Amino acid sequence: MDGSVPRATAVARDVLEEVSRAVVGNRAPLRLILAALLAKGHVLLEDLPGLGKTLAARSFAQALGLEFNRAQFTPDLLPADLTGSFIYDRGASEFQFRPGPVFTGLLLADEINRTPPKTQSALLEAMQERQVTVEGQTFPLEAPFHVLATANPIEYEGTYPLPEAQLDRFLMRVSFGYPSQDEEYDVLGRRLTRQQEEIVLSPVTDRAGLLALQRVIETVQVDESVGRYCVELAAATRSHPQVLTGASPRGSLALVLTARAWAVIDGRDYVVPEDVKAVAPSVLSHRITVKPELWMTDVSGRSVTTEVLTSVSTPAALETSSVRR
Look at residue 284 in the predicted model and tell me its pLDDT.
Answer: 94
Q: Is residue 167 part of a domain?
A: yes
Average pLDDT of the segment spanning 188-215: 87
Residue 40's pLDDT is what? 95
Give the span between the Cα atoms of 91 and 94, in whole angstroms: 8
Q: What is the mean pLDDT of the chain?
A: 87
Name the range with the highest mean pLDDT among 155-169, 271-285, 292-306.
271-285
Residues 41 and 23 reside in one and the same domain: yes
Is the domain of 287 the same as that of 307?
A: yes
Contact 61, 166 (CB under 8 A): no
Question: Are both 152 and 195 inside the same structural domain?
Answer: yes
Tell me which of 167, 191, 218 is where a domain ends: 218
* Out of 130-134, 267-271, 284-288, 304-308, least confident range: 130-134
Both 209 and 227 in one domain: the answer is no
Question: Is 322's pLDDT higher than 70?
Answer: no
pTM: 0.89
Cα–Cα distance for residue pair 2/311, rounded to 1 Å: 41
CA–CA separation, 82 and 70 (whole Å): 10
**Residue 321 — very low, low, confident or very high, per pLDDT cuts 50/70/90?**
very low
CATH number at residue 37: 3.40.50.300
Assess whether 148 and 198 both reside in one domain: yes
Angle between helices 273-284 and 224-239 (to 10 degrees): 30
Q: What is the pLDDT of residues 202-216, one digit of tens each?
A: 999 999 999 999 999
Convert the pLDDT of each residue in 24-58 to its tens digit. Answer: 877 899 999 999 999 999 999 988 777 788 889 99
CA distance 151 to 140: 26
pLDDT band at 300 (very low <50, low <70, confident <90, very high): confident
Distance of CA 257 to the CA centre of its chain: 12
Q: How many domains does the chain have?
A: 2
pLDDT in tens, 81-98: 998 888 887 877 788 889
- Buried b / exposed e over 239-275, threshold 16 CB at 10 Å, is ebebbeebbeeebbbbbbbbbbbbbbbbbbbebbbbb
54 shares its domain with 87: yes
CA gap 101, 82 in Å, rounded = 6
Using the predicted structure, report yes or no on whether residue 243 has a pLDDT greater than 50: yes
Rounded CA separation 248/216 (Å): 26
Full residue range of the structural domain in which residue 42 is found: 1-218
